[in-house]
Amino acid sequence: MDDQRRPSPTGSGPERRASRAAAWLAAGLAVAVVLAPIDSRAADARSSLPQGAATNPTTAGTAWRTAVERSELKTRPRPTPTPTPKPTAATSSTRYVSTAGSDSAAGSALSPWRTIQHAADVAPAGSTIIVRGGTYAPFSILRPGLTVVAASGETVTVSGGTYVVLVRGTSDVTVRGLVIRDAPDLWGSGVRVESSTRVLIEGNTIRDNHSFGVKVKDATNVTIRDNEITKNDTGIELSGAVSGARVTGNRIHHNDRMVTSSRGGNGIVVTKTTGAVSIVGNRLWGNRAPHLSGGGYDGGAFEVYAASDLRIADNIAWDNNNVMETGTDGSAPCARLTFVRNVAYGAGSVAGETTGLILRCASDSLFAHNTFDGLDHYAFYVAAGGSFAGSIAGLRIVDNVIYRGRAYSLTSGLPTSLVIDHDLVRPGGSAATYGRYVAYVAGQGNTDSLAEFVQWTGFDRHGLQADPRFVDADGRDYHLTSTSPAIDAGIDVTGETWAGSGPDIGRFEYVP
């Protein structure tokens, strides 16, 4: 089975009466067809660190981030009502499904079908299938030009099946506003998109699925937008030819179970992909799974395995097992990764288990203008060898703020093309594990001095060890105040515009 890949290193309510349905249609609410891998590798990274007693990080006591508002379905303009509306058949572009319907009916508002699958099988291309509130069986979309959407204000639950919603071999499909849950099988998923193009998965709640919330395999121009993705083994996984994939505006949290004994607990996984992928503006938290046997945890916000050409930007991550982990089996590199303008912070809900980025495969990649606060162990673990390692030649780590935690953990044998510079570090001031140090360097040990780190490595010669003077770090406002030393202290690596003599260090550009 294609998902059996690498080993890991480390609502229904009462049905509307016919008269109410007629009034509903007359009111103009006929909108569209509405439908009622490397997780345990973190341990490898930590194994190279010196042993030492760790203090418990303080648990974040606030449910910080208000969830992004779900996109609401818009109604059409209200038509002039007729005295006695008698919609006896569906329009050419609208079909209806209801738990009180029949698949031998006409598919109209007053005579709806019973199953979503029947609607997907027979509705004309270009149809919108509106599903009324209730609980429905799994369905597959194998034909182009269909939109399946929950009726406005109604809860439509689709549950069960290896793939609760399967989109395969088709194009121009939208799935919107459903509760998609309870796929029970190994390598199953709440939503699977395969061998398709121009697919939109939007505004759904996707939860309690084994193994994935959303799986995209060999499908191009797929957009996963504004969904709540929670309590799956892994939130989203992309694999194969996925050019044009866009993951944006999602709330991805508490994906907290293992897929197998060696993988799980991830927010977003990108594995062995080809084509450009954009992961922008998501919020990820609580993605961490306990091992099936023994102690410890796997998982994290982002995992990249033998995948290239990714842009990961403007995301906020907190209380994940790690921020990001990269690796490869040697079949393909992790190259041209752009990780910019993100925020990640601790402390986490599990002591010592909210770490930063593990970079053992990241050639010709840029990690810039990010802000990290209170992470355990390190913000950046950079390795040149070991299990699942690939090339890190041409990796640049610049213009980042690393606050209240250890900035770097570096192994030996790093390539001369590695660039670490123009970062601002400020250790101490938190209970993060090893948080009082600036860096750990193999062969040297820990240091709490940026100057000593520069002397040992030659890195961060233009870096600063100073208070970044955020507006309110404890309140998670990482904008800079007017006296911040990060202002104009960066170097241009993104081609963005800025005010002043140079770009500011960290996620946010100071605006007077």
pLDDT digits (tens, 9 = 90+) for 267-282: 999 999 999 999 999 9
Q: What is the pLDDT of residue 17?
A: 32
Q: What is the CATH number of the domain that holds 278?
A: 2.160.20
Q: Most distant CA pair in the chain: distance in Å?
A: 86
At residue 293 the predicted structure's pLDDT band, cuts being 50, 70 and 90, is confident
- Residue 150 · residue 131 · CB < 8 Å: yes
Is residue 9 assigned to a domain? Answer: no
Q: Please report, to the nearest 10 degrees, the dihedral formed by the alpha carbons of residues 249, 405, 9, 304 taken in order.
A: 30
pLDDT at residue 326 greater than cutoff 70:
yes
| Segments in 27-76 forming alpha helices (H) | 41-47
Q: What is the pLDDT of residue 262?
A: 83
396: Cα separation from own chain's centroid = 23
Q: What is the pLDDT of residue 34?
A: 35
DSSP-assigned letter for residue 78: P
pLDDT at residue 61 greater than cutoff 90:
no
Is residue 235 assigned to a domain? Answer: yes
Is residue 422 assigned to a domain? Answer: yes
Is residue 481 assigned to a domain? Answer: no
Cα gap 419→458, rounded to integer Å: 10
- Residue 141 · residue 157 · CB < 8 Å: no
- Residue 123 · residue 146 · CB < 8 Å: yes
Cβ within 8 Å of residue 419, ≥6 positions away: 395, 396, 397, 398, 459
pLDDT digits (tens, 9 = 90+) for 179-196: 999 999 999 999 999 999
Mean pLDDT of the chain: 86
Is residue 387 assigned to a domain? Answer: yes
The DSSP bridge partners found for residue 432 are none
pLDDT at residue 29 greater than cutoff 60:
no
Using CA atoms, how far residue 430 sits from 153, 239, 297, in Å, is: 45, 38, 22
pLDDT at residue 387 greater than cutoff 60:
yes
Q: What is the pLDDT of residue 37?
A: 42
Is residue 348 assigned to a domain? Answer: yes
Cα gap 270→309, rounded to integer Å: 11
Average the pLDDT over 399-428 and give the result. 98
Using CA atoms, how far residue 322 sits from 291, 347, 419, in Å, is: 15, 12, 22
Q: Please report, to the nearest 10 degrees, the dihedral formed by the alpha carbons of residues 476, 478, 479, 482 taken in order.
A: 110
Domain region containing 57: 41-74+143-462
Q: Which helix (H) or strand (E) holds 463?
A: none
Q: What is the pLDDT of residue 206?
A: 98
State percent of the chain over pLDDT 70.
82
pLDDT digits (tens, 9 = 90+) for 70-119: 333 333 333 334 343 343 344 459 999 999 999 999 999 999 999 999 99
Is residue 11 assigned to a domain? Answer: no
Cα gap 465→482, rounded to integer Å: 18
Is residue 116 assigned to a domain? Answer: no
Average the pLDDT over 39-51 and give the result. 41
Q: What is the domain count for the chain?
A: 1
